[in-house]
Amino acid sequence: MPSQPNSGSKIERNFRLTVEGTQLTSELPSRPDLRALFLGFSSVGLSGFGGVLPFARRMLVEERRWMTAEEFNAQLGLCQFLPGPNVINLAVVVGKRYGGLAGAIVAPVGLLAGPLAIVLLLALLYDRYGSLPLAQSMLRGIAAVGVGLLFAMAWRMSGAIKEKLFFLPFTALTVIAIAGLRWPMPMVMVAGLMLSGGIAYWRLGRK
């Protein structure tokens, strides 16, 4: 007489698979809706005093996990080549990815709504108190913080780049072209695109 399968072990196995599947699903980031896009980019806009890109990366990659570090680097590199502020372009790209046309509108609106109200208020205050030495010292301090935030974001972004030694000369040449030679940004971008495209074609031809 053939042995019947153990119903207890079968139930236990199914339960274990269900629990594991639930745990894996809970670890995955949920797809953001329009409200989440608006609130997420609003938090970026209201946090980014001196520069919002570091806060945008933290929100997208580390907190909400809407993008991987590699995806953020790729999307930001694309947004650098598009006209307009790169963080607004990034908000449009992310909004379009998750919310279509409505998301492409809601995300940048959330990014700009809060800062716009604050800037209008600060403009009124600066017009009245901007000539005071205390106000000038505060502005210089904010500028220094912005520089530090950009360096911190560049350091974190470099962690997601593969073959760092190969791409390090690109970084050095970009810094020399902008800070040393004072090349305009369009010239730097075109030269970088041609150089990176040529090297990519050469490397692909070797494989």
Query: What pLDDT digit, counting tens, does each position of 66-111 carry?
Result: 999 889 988 888 888 788 888 899 999 999 999 999 999 999 999 9
Same domain, 201 and 110: no
The verdict on residue 171 lying in a domain is yes
Distance CA 3, CA 172 (A): 72
Same domain, 69 and 121: yes
Contact 153, 62 (CB under 8 A): no
Q: Distances in Å between the alpha carbon of 91 and those of 48, 60, 103, 105, 175?
A: 14, 10, 9, 9, 26
Number of H helices, E strands in the chain: 8, 0
The verdict on residue 117 lying in a domain is yes
The two structure tokens encoding residue 171: 């970084």
Quick one: what percent of the chain has pLDDT higher than 90?
21
Same domain, 49 and 118: yes
Query: What integer pLDDT is reported at residue 105 of this predicted model?
Result: 96
- The pTM is what? 0.58
Same domain, 201 and 167: yes
CB-count exposure of residue 57 (10 Å: 0-12, 13-18, 19+)? buried
Q: Which residues constitute the domain of residue 172?
A: 162-207
Same domain, 119 and 49: yes
Query: What integer pLDDT is reported at residue 43 of this predicted model?
Result: 92
Q: What is the mean pLDDT of residues 19-48?
A: 71
Same domain, 84 and 186: no
Same domain, 36 and 97: yes
The verdict on residue 89 lying in a domain is yes
Same domain, 42 and 82: yes
The verdict on residue 84 lying in a domain is yes
Give the count of domains, the chain. 2
Give pLDDT tens digits for 131-158: 778 777 777 777 777 777 777 767 776 7
